[in-house]
Amino acid sequence: MQIQLAVIGGTGITANILTETTSQQVVTTRFGSADVTIGTIGAVPAVFLHRHGIGHKIPPHAISHRANIAALASLGVRAVYATTAVGSLCTSIHPGEIVLLDDLIDMTRNQAERTFFATDVVHTDVTPPYSQALRKAFIAAGAELGFDIRDHGTYVCTDGPRFETPAEIRMMARLGGDVVGMTGANEAMLAIEAGLHYCGASVVTNYGAGLTPTGIAHESVHEIVVSVAPQLQKLLLSAVRNIDLTTLPQRGSGRFTP
């Protein structure tokens, strides 16, 4: 059966988020290759994309987001739930919380990975950046399960791989950001350019630099996401039951071919 649904797994999220897995594949695209696991979420055929490659070997600044998104498009995917680990930009958004994103600020500088249309004149409407239909289904899943998810949040994206300075965290908060991560902007924009419905669900793993007296440990970032993964799986299972993938409206310019 045609696979129309994808989950992109960031730090701490593995293919075990699928309810069943059948095979692992390397998908080759003109932008590079992508590691995927094929399976299902409940009754829905789904593909899990390993954002950092199998075994989490690719650091954020070296990810080919174009290869990852082109791979999903070439498999026939129409809808994407993407997980990310994020730092909080304020003391009222806490580690362990799930934030369903509704906007983003792109502070990345990686030129190669920002667009599929580097040589064509294509200006893509990215309003809103995160799919309304997928957000709605995820919010309904949270209500059905009685989970306390934060249903809005602006994601600020850096190139990484370092964490931010305290002044950068203060700046991002003043600009309207709620959380900060290193992977979600180019990925979201490329997904829209490719005509995909894209929805970002972030797991808060730490307060941003300078908001608490302690530093940020990568190990605890990983641990917190792992502890929230079962909750995310239940949310996805319930959300995908509520989405009719065949009636999603067109996204992007329609000009992209994988």
Return residues touching ligand HPA (CB under 6 A): 85-87, 163-164, 180-182, 205-206, 208, 216, 221
- Residue whose CB is nearest to ligand HPA in the complex, by number: 87
In whole angstroms, the minimum distance from the beta carbon of 230 to ligand HPA comes to 19
Q: Which residues pair with 204 in a beta bridge?
A: 86
Answer whether 98's CB lies under 8 Å from 202's CB.
yes
Report the residue number, 182 or 243, with the smaller CB distance to ligand HPA: 182
- Of 9, 6, 17, 16, give the one whose Cα is nearest residue 56: 9
Pick the closest to residue 129 from 96, 97, 149, 152 (CA basis): 152
Q: Which residue lies nearer to ligand HPA by CB, 103 or 144? A: 103
**Distance of closest approach, residue 144 Cβ to ligand HPA, in angstroms:** 28
Residue 222 CB, shortest distance to ligand HPA, in Å, is 9
Burial of 116 (0-12, 13-18, 19+ CB in 10 A): buried
CB of 221 to ligand HPA, least distance (A): 5
Nearer to ligand HPA, 146 or 215 (CB): 215
What span, in angstroms and rounded, lies between the C-alpha atoms of 134 and 39? Answer: 20
Q: Is the C-alpha dihedral spanning 225, 231, 236, 242 positive or negative?
A: negative
- Helices and strands in the chain, H and E counts: 5, 10
By beta-carbon proximity to ligand HPA, the closer residue of 5 and 82 is: 82
User: Any residues with CB less than 8 A from the CB of 132 and at least 6 apart, and which?
Assistant: none
* Cα distance from N-terminal residue to C-terminal residue, the chain: 20
- In whole angstroms, give the CA distance from residue 4 to residue 80: 9
Closest contact distance (angstroms) between CB of 244 and ligand HPA is: 33
Closest to ligand HPA by CB, 58 or 216: 216
Q: Considering beta carbons, is residue 77 or 182 the nearer one to ligand HPA?
A: 182
Kindly state the smallest distance separating residue 227's Cβ from ligand HPA, in Å: 14
